[in-house]
Amino acid sequence: PRDTSVLPALLRMEEAGSFAWIDQGRVRTSTTHVFNVVHALELALTEGRPGEAYFVADDGTRTVREFLSALVRAGAGVELSSRNLPSWLARPLARIVESVWGLIWPDKAPPMTRFAIDMLSSTVTVNDSKARTDLGYAPVISVEDGLTQLGQFCPP
């Protein structure tokens, strides 16, 4: 709820006509609702072993396209563009954009960065089996319920 980074950035890009999927948004990602993070922290305080690290995630993985489309739809009632850019082209293009942008507008963030391209074109999933086994962790809110909740905080 009350996302101040990802959702607003996606909406700005979509409104400006600069949003494009990288590799069709096919890479997989793990997500973790803040309520699930808090629940895991509470469990770690009571059940965790000192010095141990635990990954936590919502149930299952999904494609970046599935998740970001649902996020923007729930948070703003907007459908993201179907434009696509292959990562083999997006990476060098981002390097050029960052360089030129930095020379012309050094105090403004470029519209395309290598970091953003890497995040949208790399599978990033976590294995939370250790937290489930050691802490008894299980998500307290599903992705679907979290998105519904987001829609209540940010009506279209």
Domains of the chain, start order:
6-85+123-153 (3.90.25.10)
C-beta separation of 18 from 90 below 8 A = no
pTM for this model (two decimals): 0.86
C-beta separation of 5 from 13 below 8 A = no
Q: Dihedral sign, CA of 144, 145, 150, 152? A: positive
Question: Which single residue is written with the structure tokens 């459908």?
Answer: 79
In this structure, the strands spanning 62-63 and 28-29 are antiparallel
Terminal C-alpha separation, the chain: 14
Report residue 95 as tokens: 């390097």
Please work out, in degrees rounded to the nearest 5, the angle formed at the alpha carbon of residue 2 by the alpha carbons of 22 and 123: 25
Q: Phi and psi of 124, rounded to 5°?
A: -135, 100
Res 20: pLDDT: 94
Report residue 51 as tokens: 């010095």
pLDDT in tens, the chain (156 residues): 566 778 888 888 899 888 999 999 999 999 999 999 999 999 999 999 999 999 999 999 999 999 999 999 998 899 999 999 999 999 999 999 999 999 999 999 898 899 989 989 999 999 999 999 999 999 999 999 999 888 776 655
